[in-house]
Amino acid sequence: MATQPAATAADRRMQISSLPYLAGNWDQARAVYGPGGIVREAVAG
């Protein structure tokens, strides 16, 4: 079993959420993945 990113054929933007080391702790994770965060903005397009 593994966590795999979405295939590039689907939508390349979906792969950014699977990048390792985007956050070092929970506060950083909330800032990166939460509302207004860079990952959410990148996936939204």
Give the model confidence (pLDDT) of 4-41 as tens digits: 766 767 777 777 767 778 889 999 999 998 999 988 88
Q: What token pair was written down for 19?
A: 């990048």
pTM over 0.85: no
d(CA 37, CA 16): 12
Q: Which residue has the higher pLDDT, 18 or 42?
A: 42
Q: Which residue has the higher pLDDT, 1 or 20?
A: 20
User: CA–CA distance from 22 to each of 1, 9, 11, 17, 39 (Å)?
Assistant: 22, 23, 20, 9, 9
* pLDDT (0 to 100) of residue 1: 66
d(CA 7, CA 10): 6
